[in-house]
Structure 1
Amino acid sequence: MRTIICLFSFILSSLLATRQSPNPEIISAKDGEIKIYPVLHSTMAIQYQELTIYLDPYGGKKAFEGVPEANLILITDIHGDHMNLETLNELEAQSTQILAPQAVVDQLTPAFTNLTVLANGETTSIQGVDILAIPMYNLPEDSTSRHPKGRGNGYLLTIGGKRIYISGDTEDIAEMRALKNIDIAFICMNLPYTMTVDAAADAVLDFKPKVVYPFHYRGKGGFSDVESFKRTINVSSDETEVRLINWYPEKE
């Protein structure tokens, strides 16, 4: 297993060595614009005015070339493509403010000194951003779950008057379907870790975000069919715009 992980890290490093800096998505917001940089898989940077948030930093420092430095980091869960200690160390994030669930904080070393714990259903305001921790978990809720309810967080951010939902590793749970007035949503879809394309589309049709980005769509069998996800939404609703962007440097 260690050999496989090392080989994957070597391949990933080689791919990132030749990739160009990610181009940001631009979202109009109050008093400016929000820039969203797709970095890798579920890793992104969100920039608004003087604030830059990294979500689930992964891929090493190389992945963030051309991306503004973070002054806030959000982490969703303990798995290595979300809580990646090597990347956090390369980014020298030991004193950067990090918000995460307790399970993540428990795995960070004492070198990380600026930590805020947020549990499902809790809210906080950090550097002008309102943050609500949304549950993320697998269905059915049983002992086989890769993501048990309560361990990890999805996040609902309010930035520049925009409500941005980041699903984390989840299935089409009731808490997602109950969301209201979402401007931008990032929705995972990869088996066997999260949900199918059809389940993701069905949930999106329920909560009707204005814009949705598929992300975290590489699974055990390869890449999920995000074009099919887009077609399903387009056929069924004119309330949600699906935007497809590339989260994987090997696809460039």
Structure 2
Amino acid sequence: MTSPAPLPRHDGQVLVVGGPTAVLDLGGLRIVSDPTFDAPGPHGGLTKTAGPALAEDRFADADLVLVSHDNHADNLDDRGRAFALAAPLLLTTTGGADRLGGPAKGLAAWDTHLLTRPDGGELAITAVPAVHGPEDGERDADGEVNCQVIGFVVSGRGLPTVYISGDNASLRTVTEIARRTGPVDATVLHAGAARIPGRFRGRPLSLDSARAAAAAAILGAPVNVPAHYTGWAHFTEGRDAIEHAFDEAGLTPVLSVADHGTWLPLKP
């Protein structure tokens, strides 16, 4: 059976596939972040409750895959890993690049990788810090909470600047990113208040809804697209909670949310 053709490109737009997985069409390039395409079921201590809105073959023309971390199945499951390793280029953490091999290139926080756009310009992918748990969580020898994680800032002349948070729970880190990068045009925020019983006293490992709204305010983004809030049993706050938190903060006009599989513009 012939696989379906890749989705037509929607330049300047983003589509959340499910879980943390987002597709950005920007500057003539297609970027897929944290690919998770497995069917529901158990995954190494985590439970996937819903599959993706669209299968990975719809994005087989991806130019770049971004992986905030490869350590947890809810950010890189089996089919997501195969998809990432088949891409022309995979950007991830330094440790993740060593483990994944193949097309993977490791970035430390504040490293930038440049890609040539079809129009001859450049697309800059800058790795930014992330804290995968509470600020006071126990840190490993490298100073990481839980594991090494990065987010990404994607930018280029004439393009919207987009912040992809990765699994970050720290508003202090968001403030540092805002200070160093300036305001961004759009965010893809890993919300959902992921919690693991017995881990950090059950405190969130990713942004909860209130902190997602606060991150949007700190960054000054006019477009904020939540991801990472459905599809896995340990995500404890869904779309309703996110919408309520943005409303409570007076930020509903900057929240951009729709059913998974829907293209959303990266500029108002």
TM-score range, shorter chain: 0.7 to 0.9
- How big is the shift at 1:227? 3.1
* Partner residue in 2 for 1:125: 114
CA deviation map 1:70-109 (0-9, x unaligned): 12111110212223354332x3844611111112112214
Q: Does 1:243 find its partner at 2:248?
A: no
Alignment-mate amino acid for residue 194 of structure 2? L
Partner of 1:142: 137
Identity of aligned residues (%): 17
Relative to structure 1, is the Cα distance of residues 86 and 230 closer, same or farther in structure 2, using a 3 angstrom cutoff?
closer
Give the secondary-structure state (helix, strand or coil) at the position aligned to 2:59. Answer: coil
User: Could you tell me which residue of structure 2 aligns to residue 6 of structure 1?
Assistant: none
Answer yes or no: is 1:184 the counterpart of 2:186: yes
Paired residue type of 1:53: I
In structure 1, C-alpha distance between the alignment counterparts of 2:243 and 2:7, rounded to whole Å: 21
* Number of equivalences: 219
Runs of 4+ in 1 over 6 A off after TM superposition: 20-25
User: How far 1:187 sits from its partner (Å)?
Assistant: 1.2
* 5+ residue gaps, structure 1: 1-19, 27-32
2:162–2:187 Cα contact (<8 Å) kept = yes
2:165 — aligned with what?
167
In the alignment, the residues of structure 1 paired with residue 85 and residue 236 of structure 2 have an alpha-carbon distance, to the nearest angstrom, of: 31
Q: Is the 8 A contact 2:85 2:104 kept in 1?
A: no
Q: Alpha carbons of 1:119 and 1:235: their partners in 2 closer, same or farther (altered >3 Å)? A: same
Q: CA deviation at 1:131?
A: 1.4
CA deviation after TM superposition for structure 1 residue 122, in Å: 1.6
Residue number in structure 1 paired with 2:44: none
Q: CA deviation at 1:119?
A: 0.5
2:186–2:224 CA contact under 8 A, matched in 1: yes
Q: What is the CA distance between 1:183 and its match in structure 2?
A: 0.7
d(CA) in 1 for partners of 2:214, 2:84:
40
TM-score (normalised: structure 1): 0.72
- Relative to structure 1, is the Cα distance of residues 21 and 167 closer, same or farther in structure 2, using a 3 angstrom cutoff? farther
Question: Does 2:96 match 1:98?
Answer: no
Say which SS state the counterpart of residue 105 (structure 1) adopts.
helix
Matches of 2:149 and 2:17 in 1, distance apart? 21
Shift of 1:162: 0.8
**Comparing both structures, which one devotes a greater share of its residues to strand?**
1
Root-mean-square deviation (Å): 3.4
Distance 1:223 1:25 in 2: 32
Q: Distance between the aligned counterparts of 1:122 and 1:177, measured in 2?
A: 18
Judge conservation of contact 2:186–2:222 (CA < 8 Å) in 1: yes
CA distance in 2, matches of 1:95, 1:70: 7
Distance 2:81 2:222 in 1: 32
Q: Residues of 1 paired with 2:84 and 2:167: CA distance?
A: 26
Distance 1:141 1:115, change over 3 A: same
Establish whether residue 83 from structure 1 lines up as the match of residue 76 from structure 2: yes
Q: Which structure would you say has the larger RCO, counting Cα contacts within 8 Å and 6 or more residues apart?
A: 2
